[in-house]
Amino acid sequence: MKPFEQLVTEHGAMVLRVCRAVLGPDEAEDAWSETFLAALKAYPELSEAANTEAWLVTIAHRKAIDVTRKRARNPLPMEELPERPSADPQETDQDLWNAVKALPDRQREAIAFHYLAGLPHREVAAITGSTPEAVRRAASDGIKNLRRAYLVPATPSVAPVPVPVGSVPASTSISVPKGEAR
């Protein structure tokens, strides 16, 4: 059997991507830790033939459900994602995160497990209790929705504001109105 460390090295980044996409960046780190801790516990009993990626994603999926339920039980006022100054290079990412967050669960999971974890539709269906066809549809709808919510508003990009010659060169960061995320 491989030392568990090897699983962490090989799949740690993948599991973090999945947790982020499903839960958002803030709760992802806790979910990542809980996923690997649960995996470590169960690891000696894992069959040698098992697909470790699918196994880890299955655990991550359960942990994400736990987190979501906990959140529903203790409805802490969820903070809206902070507005950032538009010069922040993270802003486009933030828009994408918001768009992912707004997706229906099935679509978000299909994107996370199929596109980010690289699992085939069949495996994703087994994990989420769905059918491969439904996963295929959810993944493609999810991509369509993301493209609409995230890419389209960004495309009619604000024309560069001409800076009058001799004006104060104080800040080149021009406040750009954020596209509605919907």
Partner 1 sequence: MSTVEPESSALLAPLRDVDPAALLALQTRLAAAAAEAGLLDLSYTTLDTPIGRLLLAATDQGLVRVAFDRENHDAVLEQLADKISPRILHSAVRLEAAVRQLDEYFAGRRRVFELPLDWRLAKGFRREVLAHLPEIAYGQTESYAQVAAAAGNPKAVRAVGTACGTNPLPVVVPCHRVVRSDGSFGGYLGGTEAKQILLTLEAAA
- Name the residues that contact partner 1, by CB under 8 A: 1-6, 8, 12-13, 16-17, 20-21, 29, 32-33, 36-37, 40-41, 43-44, 92-93, 96, 100, 111, 114-116, 118-121, 143, 146-147, 150-151
Yes or no: say if 122 and 132 are a contact pair by the CB < 8 Å rule.
yes
Nearer to partner 1, 87 or 163 (CB): 87
Nearer to partner 1, 3 or 177 (CB): 3
Shortest distance in whole angstroms from residue 119 CB to partner 1: 7
Shortest distance in whole angstroms from residue 163 CB to partner 1: 29
- Residue 143 CB burial class (10 angstroms; 0-12, 13-18, ≥19): middle
Yes or no: say if 128 and 57 are a contact pair by the CB < 8 Å rule.
no
SS3 of 17-80: HHHHHHHCHHHHHHHHHHHHHHHHHHHHHCCCCCCHHHHHHHHHHHHHHHHHHHHHHCCCCCCC
Shortest distance in whole angstroms from residue 61 CB to partner 1: 17
Shortest distance in whole angstroms from residue 100 CB to partner 1: 7
Nearer to partner 1, 41 or 163 (CB): 41
- Residue 68 CB burial class (10 angstroms; 0-12, 13-18, ≥19): middle
Nearer to partner 1, 93 or 163 (CB): 93
